[in-house]
A and B are shown apart, each in its own frame.
Chain A
């Protein structure tokens, strides 16, 4: 009944519109009541040179060098990148390729740091308690230097979004505390334990982008977090236009585009950013990290990680230094024997299965989950034929037709797949979750996207090679022509009288010769 009333209210325009599709999986928040505790320092840290979407960083330390916690150890050269910092004080022991959390199991250059146990902090970033007087551009540079990236899992470099744009002014800041993935509770615990810091971070965000209002979105299944945030908000008088909004418990409500539509009724146009509709969306964890970076000059060197899953004896929320090997983190929760277990990096809906446990915790590590093999979806073993039930289109939050799209991807009809909006897929996994035929739809879409990207890359390379080849041909031709010209000149000099007599004939001859040679 309440659901019906809500729907009625929505159709009457009393409640902001919800988003299309979505599913309601069992949320299994095993660690919702487990307070955050610190994960001890690991014996060796492995720090990948890229922990965000965008370009790879360049190391600026050398093997044997001593580093301190928060010291910049890799420089971001490209625009879409954020620098990397040492997670603790110690010595750089090697810089080489090592596996990172990635479905391919491939590696990336990593800086290995052996801690000295002193955990001395670097103080090159000065605290800015007077941030209200600072220029937004200065704060933006601080966000970049502190290595901030979206901690909700997408790890988009944060500073890019924190901009005051004349053409696209941000009116609304949305703080994303939805956390709709099953099992994950890191944002939930953060809101319970650090509500005030998060709100201070929000104040900095509002100051930076000049927004007129802000919404803190929390899913209904976290009533305690909603209450705590509301209480924390009530005692502050510097945030008059901020509201804590309860949103329906519905996966993927925490996905940026879906949340924006649900709260404001605006759709982010394909290929654009939220700021193009006047919205800035930030995860609560990122917001807290921004607060730390501005107030205390602390770069991003740790994050909250939910360690959960049915195979973990003592599920927990840990504050883990970036670069800590996952095996070490699991050991803190009583899990050391991984025989017959599967380990996920991220939530069960969007995370990836890890091939190795020696990969480090990175900025995108919202959670690490361990399950027995049988507990996970059998979708990958038995794929039945599609019976076209249409449930996938019903749940797709971007209104794709997943079954037809998957057919095109499977058949390598990539142009058709693109016409069916392959690249609008957000890979949320709702379609695979409901498919009665167990079709790994998302896997097909990833395959299709990968193939398209590869073809584009090959095309671009071929185009470049063609130019180089054409240029070489032109050059050879030119050389030949020059040589011919030189030769005829020499001939003219040697036989000036004859040339004078039959100038026209010689000219004609040399031109034909030139043509014949080329």
Chain B
């Protein structure tokens, strides 16, 4: 029986490998800012997570008797890098490693491997960590060039000690070397009855600092500017389309604008929302993860709007200060439904011009 070969007989040359590599490249500006702010800690964290994810992937592939060739598609490396970007720089190494294993095993391989996972692997691992270790996952080490860091993060030895043995090893408490993120600060103050405007004021919040990334936060999510550069690169390379990021960010901005103009004491202004926490990272790199987002343009718009509403709602009313990751994860569940109900109108069907 000869092999049956159907047309087309030529191919555009795209591959999963190149797609993943493009995303990794697009994360580089944010990674560089991360290293600039968090020094060696950021370097350690990225190497550990990438290595951890790739090693886990290799082990799981071997266990399932699948070809190790799949490792070269760069998807595990990307998951590792994304995970590192979402972690606070002060995360203990074993926690990060655990996260890497979670990401690959629970986030991806249990569903059947690349392409079958319902949730974004890096994001699901991050959420598992957040729920399991709430204290460590919301403690933000004071970055370089912002305030006065208790530890010199450009000092290799100090960082290595801090990374391997925790703050006690360098004679500091966790409290002493960390500070609150803007989102966390606002949430804490609100629970104590202090309004948003006042809270931002006593935090010395500046929109420009938030945009450039001079604030506390996870390794890769502080600088909106660097993430936007990466996002625009992805758009230009046609790895993602504008639908999800634009609808996501616009929804958050519109909701924030409406509500903050009605009750500025409770609701934060739109620019604060846009540049705070992991929103930009989620909008360009997490929500657009092709596997766990809708396929069709209309579906992607719906998905983005859903993410936006949830993010804003969790931030404004929820117990957690940050809602971006939860919202993407929640919307991931809805993707099969969205895909089914928001299919494009097929040529010659429905109310086309000629029909």
Contacts and interface: CB of A to CB of B under 8 A. Distances in A.
Interface of A: 20, 23, 25, 103, 105, 182, 257, 261, 265-272, 276-277, 342, 344, 346, 348-353, 355, 371, 376-380, 384-391, 393-394, 397-401, 403-404, 420-421, 424, 427, 429, 432-438, 440, 442-443, 446
Interface in B110-155: 113-116
Residue among B16, B73, B354 having the largest count of chain A Cβ atoms under 10 Å: B354
Interface string B315-355: 00000000000000000000000010001111111001111
A442 B8 CA distance: 8
Given A348-B7, A387-B16, 16 more contacts: A267-B347, A269-B352, A269-B354, A349-B7, A350-B7, A351-B9, A352-B7, A377-B9, A380-B5, A384-B73, A388-B291, A390-B295, A398-B346, A403-B295, A436-B15, A442-B8
Main secondary structure of the interface of A (DSSP, over half): loop
A25 B12 contact: yes
Contacts of A265: 353
The 6 closest A-B CB pairs, nearest first, are A429-B8, A385-B115, A267-B352, A443-B6, A266-B354, A270-B348
Q: How large is the interface on B (under 10, 10 to 19, 20 to 34, 35 or more residues)?
A: 35 or more
Contacts of A394: 241, 297
B204 interface: no
Q: Majority SS of interface residues in chain B? A: loop
Contacts of B343: 401, 420
Interface of B: 2-12, 14-16, 18-19, 73, 113-116, 239, 241, 290-291, 293-297, 300, 339, 343-349, 352-355
Contact of B347 (A182, A261, A355, A387): A261
25 contacts: A267-B347, A267-B352, A272-B348, A348-B9, A349-B10, A352-B6, A353-B9, A376-B9, A377-B10, A380-B3, A380-B5, A387-B19, A387-B114, A387-B115, A388-B290, A388-B293, A388-B295, A394-B241, A398-B348, A399-B344, A401-B343, A433-B11, A433-B12, A442-B8, A443-B6
A379 B7 contact: no
Contact of A442 (B6, B116, B290): B6
A364 to B, nearest CB: 13
Contacts of B339: 401, 404
Contact of B346 (A400, A404, A434, A435): A400
A449 B227 CA distance: 45
Given A267-B355, A348-B8, A384-B73, A434 B296 contact: no
Contact of A105 (B2, B10, B345, B347): B2
A436 B10 CA distance: 13
Contacts of A266: 353-354
A391 B300 CA distance: 13
B114 A389 contact: no
A389 B20 CA distance: 11
Given A103-B4, A424-B346, A389 B19 contact: yes
A269 B12 contact: no
Contacts of A342: 9
B352 A348 contact: no
Contacts of A384: 16, 73, 114-115
Contacts of A272: 348
A384 B15 CA distance: 9
B14 A349 contact: no
A400 B241 CA distance: 18
Contacts of A388: 115, 290-291, 293, 295
A386 B294 CA distance: 13
Contacts of A393: 295-297, 344
Contacts of A25: 10, 12
A20 B4 CA distance: 30
Contact of B113 (A385, A390, A397, A403): A385
A400 B355 CA distance: 17
Contact of B344 (A350, A355, A401, A435): A401
Given A266-B354, A385-B115, A387-B290, A397 B347 contact: yes
Nearest to A105: B2
B84 to A, nearest CB: 21
A433 B6 contact: no
B244 to A, nearest CB: 10
